Structure 1
Amino acid sequence: MKPMRVLATATLLALSGLHQAAAEDTIKIGGLAPLSPPGGVQSGESLRDGMTIAVEEINANGGLLGKKVEVIVEDTSGVPEKGIAAFERLASKEGVVAITGEAHSAVCTAVLPSAQKHDVAFVASECWSDAVTAAKLPQVFRITVANSLVYSVAADWVKEAGFKNIAIIAENSDWGFGVIDVFTKNLESTGAKITSFTAERTVSDFTPQLLQLKRADPKPDLIVAGFTGSNLLLMLRQAADLGVAPGKDTAIFAAGSDALEPEFWNVVGDGGVGVLANPAGLPGKPDTEISRAFTKAFEAKFDRPPNAVAMEGYDGLMVVAEAIKKAGSTDRVAIQEAMRKVEWDGTRGKINFPQTTDPAWKFQQWPEVPIFVIQYTKPNQPPADAAILWPRAQATVDSMLLHP
């Protein structure tokens, strides 16, 4: 698939024969997103659409350093090899000044050597594996959670909810293994029994694992679905169709961000009622001017509410823009240096990148990513309208778990 270009200008200068002049008057920023299978296409589209709102806003306000901004979004398909090729095209052929995006940890970790080779800033948007920032590369920043951050919070909710028999079905990727590892470590002191299964990312039939859990004695009271992309949705649909979960005896927690996309309801149907998810942000939380303005612009352009992934797409590009303004330059090294000093109020809070090195995953990791545990209570419900179970200070219901 050819890269998708998003231009927030009234006309396409290339068509008017002014391509060279346009190049000189344009700042190019690269974007990565899975826009075709086997990647999580809807997550990729949310990232891309969030970037679109950002670049339109920047250009409507005069651009950067007196120039228009162009974001060039390359499709990775969620495949490491394609991700590397996309990153290399952006960094060399397109000559972008920085790169942001992506929704698969396997791609984010695969492109790290390219970020180092080209000495270009890479702001990871929706890649949760600890390994992304644990490499401690000066070029790499992250505006979403790390496994050790998000699942330690989720594990706190699991403890409070009192689950005792937990089953994890995870893809055999860095992210999937991280789901198992963090949950296991954080729950080992509770006495809970944890059983884990792993499978290839390409697996689409989870019937054997789900039937094994259905026949288990005791049955799991919580299943953690550690998959990404369309196969996460298939697992959730199969769990509902088989009568495994969600139900009165067994809850199911969707660890992948695809449970936040409209396609979730298209695939899972009414079986999605009762499913749990953990977004790294919700529109209106915090309820700030920038969050409200982004939500309004996104809904007006795309006729759907934004989710955490779209917010990450927007925040990632805007953080790059803030670093360019702070540096007063499009020099790649200057942008990295400025990024380390950024304190920018984004859609989900004030974003910054501390130089913490212990533990390693905290290096240039935004530490204050908002993390929620939500539960869908009716069909076709957007994440922003779901019940918030955790953190308790922001809960919208009294119960730690609602039974469908």
Structure 2
Amino acid sequence: MTQAHPFLKRLAAIATAALFGTLAHAQAQPPIKIGINAPIQVQVGRDIRDGAQLAVDEINAKGGVLGRQLSMVVADETEDPEKGISAIKKLTADEKVDVLIGGYTSGVTLAQLPHITRAKTIALTVGAASPAITAKVKQNYDTNKYIFRTGVLNSLHLANGLLGYMTGFLHGELGLKKFAIVGESAKWVQDLLPYLKKSAQDKGLEIVMAETFDTGTTNFSPLLSKVKNSGAEYMVVILSHASSDILAKQWYDARVPVPYGGIDVKSQDTDFFERVGGKSLSEVAINFIVRAPLSERTLPFFEAFEGRYKREPVYTGAGAYDSVYAYADAVTRAGKLDTDAVIKALETIDMPVTTGRMQLDESHDLKAGAGLVNLLFVQWQEGGKRVIVWPKEARTGDYVKPQWMN
């Protein structure tokens, strides 16, 4: 038997060594690190963490991104700007994450922005709605190009969605014309309320009352009495940090003859109906995701989330889940982790997500509209059932009035 030439033996040894060296290098590559900044004390924050973890685990099970696994580190930003800044510093300076995913309170997110841009870390915001957050991208692109909003529509989109609900459903289908608009004293409401009031009046609706209340309010009786005496046929609410629980209970106990609904973030919690003893019956709250076929990814996400966490997700859980996938998609298309390359890939993203389809505008803001992401107006009904009443094409049931108004 002829023996191999010594040169060929050396060549084979070199090739084998190179192969094992390449494999060892791939295995030695550190994971892509995702930083989660969220207020863990509330469900919207816990769902950010849990939705992101679900996506990380699914992607890792399929081989990761560019042959690298994803890892996740969480920093509790609470709902306080100073603690929010500390969370960002921990994630960017200490943990040196590749991307930030999270954020809930607009005031906290706005306080974090200078620290995010100084760290030159991509941030995908999933809960904060103030237009001022992404407005900075157009004002100074080179400085603020790292900022994206990928999990929630901004306040102006929310206002337009509310306007459509008021004009198309409450007025167009139910025949209501007189409205009271009440909202909490917060930055995102300050952006939204004046625009909503003027736009509603321009559409021929009568705004008989429009005012804000402190986020720490525990007695809504004076406000509810004022709404009742205003002649309003419907109370439009705009709140995220104030106590939805107290409002629902006091409205129900007083048998206020004015139905209500609008943007009520904490009433999106899956345990809200049970938490208030069923007293949110007939309230309508916006949502971005419920158990309905909004896209091919909605129902599988619900099943996976519920299967793991034994509860339904709120919108921030879906937003965080989608944002992990969006980042993974951008890195894959960029072919590398280079920040500028990933930013360019994110700017052209076009993919199905749990809430519809993700595309971004020139301000790095989530687009709204037909075939994209839309507001859903969801009513709490008997037994804690949630029914989409608007928009009409997504409707899953009929609207019901408060029991004492039937």
Q: State whether structure 2 residue 49 is matched by structure 1 residue 33.
A: no
2:20 match? none
What is the TM-score with the length of structure 1 in the denominator? 0.83
Give 1:46-57 correspondences, 5 Å limit.
46-57=47-58
Q: Secondary structure of 1:95's partner? A: coil
Q: State whether structure 2 residue 260 is matched by structure 1 residue 252.
A: yes
Aligned-partner Cα distance in 2 for 1:22–1:81? 39
Gaps of 5+ in 1: 1-20, 356-361
How far does the alpha carbon of each residue in 1:123-144 deviate from its partner, in whole angstroms, 9 at most, with x for none? 1112122212122231111121
Task: From 335, 353, 357, give the equivalent of 1:350.
Answer: 357
Q: Larger radius of gyration, structure 1 or 2?
A: 2
How far does the alpha carbon of each residue in 1:268-287 deviate from its partner, in whole angstroms, 9 at most, with x for none? 22211101011023333324
Task: From 314, 318, 324, give the equivalent of 1:311.
Answer: 318
How far does the alpha carbon of each residue in 1:23-78 deviate from its partner, in whole angstroms, 9 at most, with x for none? 95211111121112xxxx01111221111110110111111222221121211111
Q: Secondary structure of 2:381's partner? A: coil
2:7 match? none
Q: State whether structure 2 residue 224 is matched by structure 1 residue 210.
A: yes
Aligned-partner Cα distance in 2 for 1:305–1:252? 24
1:200 match? 214
Q: State whether structure 2 residue 116 is matched by structure 1 residue 102.
A: no
Q: State whether structure 2 residue 180 is matched by structure 1 residue 167.
A: yes
What is the TM-score with the length of structure 2 in the denominator? 0.83
Q: Secondary structure of 2:276's partner? A: helix
Alignment RMSD (CA, Å): 2.2
Aligned-partner Cα distance in 2 for 1:117–1:78? 22
The 8 Å contact of residues 226 and 232 in structure 1, kept in 2 or not, is answered as no
Q: Secondary structure of 2:278's partner? A: helix
The 8 Å contact of residues 234 and 267 in structure 1, kept in 2 or not, is answered as no
Aligned-partner Cα distance in 1 for 2:88–2:146? 13
Task: From 230, 239, 252, give the equivalent of 2:251.
Answer: 239
Q: State whether structure 2 residue 348 is matched by structure 1 residue 341.
A: yes
Aligned AA for 2:214? E
Which is worse superposed, 269-278 or 160-169?
160-169
Aligned-partner Cα distance in 1 for 2:218–2:402? 27
Aligned AA for 1:261? D
Give 1:313-392 correspondences, 5 Å limit.
313-355=320-362, 363-367=364-368, 368-381=372-385, 386-392=386-392
Aligned-partner Cα distance in 2 for 1:213–1:352? 39
| Displacement after TM superposition at 1:327 (Å) | 1.9
1:221 match? 233
1:3 match? none
Task: From 291, 294, 304, give the equivalent of 2:301.
Answer: 294
| Displacement after TM superposition at 1:302 (Å) | 0.9
| Displacement after TM superposition at 1:103 (Å) | 1.8
Q: Secondary structure of 1:90's partner? A: helix
The 8 Å contact of residues 84 and 110 in structure 1, kept in 2 or not, is answered as yes
2:73 match? 72
2:85 match? 84
Aligned-partner Cα distance in 1 for 2:344–2:165? 37
1:18 match? none
Distance change (3 Å), C-alpha of 1:286 and 1:191: closer
Q: Secondary structure of 2:182's partner? A: strand
Residue identity over aligned pairs, in percent, reads 25
Q: Secondary structure of 1:278's partner? A: strand
Aligned-partner Cα distance in 2 for 1:363–1:141? 5
Distance change (3 Å), C-alpha of 1:213 and 1:110: same
Q: State whether structure 2 residue 148 is matched by structure 1 residue 141.
A: yes
Aligned AA for 1:369? V
Aligned AA for 1:324? V
The 8 Å contact of residues 225 and 235 in structure 1, kept in 2 or not, is answered as no
| Displacement after TM superposition at 1:226 (Å) | 1.9
The 8 Å contact of residues 221 and 250 in structure 2, kept in 1 or not, is answered as yes
Q: Secondary structure of 1:269's partner? A: coil
Distance change (3 Å), C-alpha of 1:262 and 1:397: closer
Distance change (3 Å), C-alpha of 1:54 and 1:306: same
| Displacement after TM superposition at 1:98 (Å) | 0.9
**How many residues are matched?**
362
1:158 match? 166
| Displacement after TM superposition at 1:348 (Å) | 1.9
Distance change (3 Å), C-alpha of 1:376 and 1:327: same
How far does the alpha carbon of each residue in 1:172-218 deviate from its partner, in whole angstroms, 9 at most, with x for none? 2111223312321220121412412223323333232223323x142
Q: State whether structure 2 residue 196 is matched by structure 1 residue 188.
A: no
Distance change (3 Å), C-alpha of 1:334 and 1:363: closer
Aligned AA for 2:207? K
Q: Secondary structure of 2:388's partner? A: strand
The 8 Å contact of residues 33 and 47 in structure 1, kept in 2 or not, is answered as yes
Q: State whether structure 2 residue 286 is matched by structure 1 residue 274.
A: no
Aligned-partner Cα distance in 2 for 1:398–1:353? 33
The 8 Å contact of residues 151 and 183 in structure 1, kept in 2 or not, is answered as yes
The 8 Å contact of residues 81 and 108 in structure 2, kept in 1 or not, is answered as yes
1:63 match? 64
Aligned-partner Cα distance in 1 for 2:260–2:339? 44
Distance change (3 Å), C-alpha of 1:250 and 1:25: same
Distance change (3 Å), C-alpha of 1:24 and 1:208: farther
The 8 Å contact of residues 145 and 280 in structure 1, kept in 2 or not, is answered as no
The 8 Å contact of residues 252 and 279 in structure 2, kept in 1 or not, is answered as yes
Aligned-partner Cα distance in 1 for 2:393–2:198? 25
The 8 Å contact of residues 91 and 120 in structure 1, kept in 2 or not, is answered as yes
